[in-house]
Structure 1
């Protein structure tokens, strides 16, 4: 049920953290994976490791985004799995002080780029007769996080869940499934500062019911499930993987 042999997948944000873990996991189940990000050196190394393809793109530049799917189709064939893993925060100001340009960059990268990629991949999925799109969101799209200002980031991640539901309903008749995975806290380039002091790590431990620290690999199981036939009756959902944070 989890076999992905021969399926072409696109994973964005694949130069670090969760994107790398997802690319390795999909390749481990047989997918031919195109890894997409800005840092060519990292992409090239990963693509060689998993026998995939490297596609460079600044995903905050929406004109560049439109080049990704054609490049993947040319190198690997028609993609039928899309994992929108790229995301970032461009400001840590409180809501009343967020700069407009930073808010726009956040929304472009976290919400509009996934939407454009979904639009571009949809014709290929139609031709194949199936497809699955997995958007990587955050628990910040579901609950506020005290002490961590992130208004535009939270809005963009909440928007992914709305986009997921709408695309899932519109494209269900084509056997294209669309879901979101919303991780809790785990070590990454974005959350790195939270793990630099005992005070912040204690805050995370105190608010996470499961007695363990999350990692990128803890998220990959949900992604593989949704990408494979094991999740073939699941669409339009936001799957939270957070150690119980939002269940409190």
Structure 2
């Protein structure tokens, strides 16, 4: 095995990936499994999770992470079904309103914060004792460039607040848990085609908007973000913690 292969070798390690019923979460689960990890996939859509497990092995854990009362059952299910998790990828996220900030409904704000910020925090709390007991761990939160810059023409105040909050949570957990060799980082993707952004890519106006504002002349994909996730989960990123890594084709560098 080469040094490069060893740095991205997850053989024998148990990982949890949320938001795995589609998009970035599913792509991350596939790549971790392909690199040797046993992966527990978490999401709302059980049928999709079952299909993914049939493809990559591991364990399906259906859960609506926007309900804080259900989140606490995830880690015990993984520990019982696969063993103590050493990797947590919080890829689940969503927007519950397209209203402008002054009109965002309270319920939508609450749901957005529950899914995008509270669930990752609760899951991190859940995996902490397992990671502490094995003497290592890697947590990667998936944020967004919306947590760093405003996006003209796309109202998303509560979403942006939740994603910015992930970076603050990441830095704090990284410092608190470093003594246990638990690394905590965030990946902040720019635009790529997904269930949420699909309509933006379908129209000429939206597609042109993305091309004008992305310096690299390529369209981002989930796999582009997964590369950063694998780096932060594996030994290749063993000296990286408390960081928010932006993967956006240069959007925020303008």
Range of TM-score over shorter length:
over 0.9
- The residue that corresponds to 1:104 in the other structure is 110
Match for residue 133 of structure 1 among 128, 134, 139: 139
- 1:18-50, Cα deviation, whole Å (9 max, x unpaired): 001000011111110000001111000101111
Q: How far did residue 51 of structure 1 move?
A: 1.1
C-alpha distance in structure 2 between counterparts of 1:97 and 1:51, whole Å: 44
Q: TM-score, normalised by structure 1?
A: 0.99
Correspondence 1:217-228 to 2 at 5 A: 217-228=223-234
**Structure 1 residue 26 and structure 2 residue 35: aligned?**
no
**Structure 1 residue 154 and structure 2 residue 124: aligned?**
no
- The residue that corresponds to 1:205 in the other structure is 211
SS of residue in 2 equivalent to 1:234: coil
RMSD: 0.5
Match for residue 221 of structure 2 among 211, 215, 219: 215
Match for residue 64 of structure 1 among 59, 66, 70: 70
Correspondence 1:1-248 to 2 at 5 A: 1-248=7-254
Q: TM-score, normalised by structure 2?
A: 0.97
C-alpha distance in structure 2 between counterparts of 1:90 and 1:29, whole Å: 34
Count residues in correspondence.
248
C-alpha distance in structure 2 between counterparts of 1:188 and 1:117, whole Å: 24
Q: How far did residue 192 of structure 1 move?
A: 1.1
SS of residue in 1 equivalent to 2:125: helix
Q: How far did residue 52 of structure 1 move?
A: 1.0
C-alpha distance in structure 2 between counterparts of 1:128 and 1:46, whole Å: 28
SS of residue in 2 equivalent to 1:177: strand
C-alpha distance in structure 2 between counterparts of 1:201 and 1:52, whole Å: 37
Q: How far did residue 119 of structure 1 move?
A: 0.2
SS of residue in 2 equivalent to 1:89: coil
C-alpha distance in structure 2 between counterparts of 1:235 and 1:94, whole Å: 34
C-alpha distance in structure 1 between counterparts of 2:127 and 2:134, whole Å: 11
- Unaligned runs of 5+ residues in structure 2 are 1-6
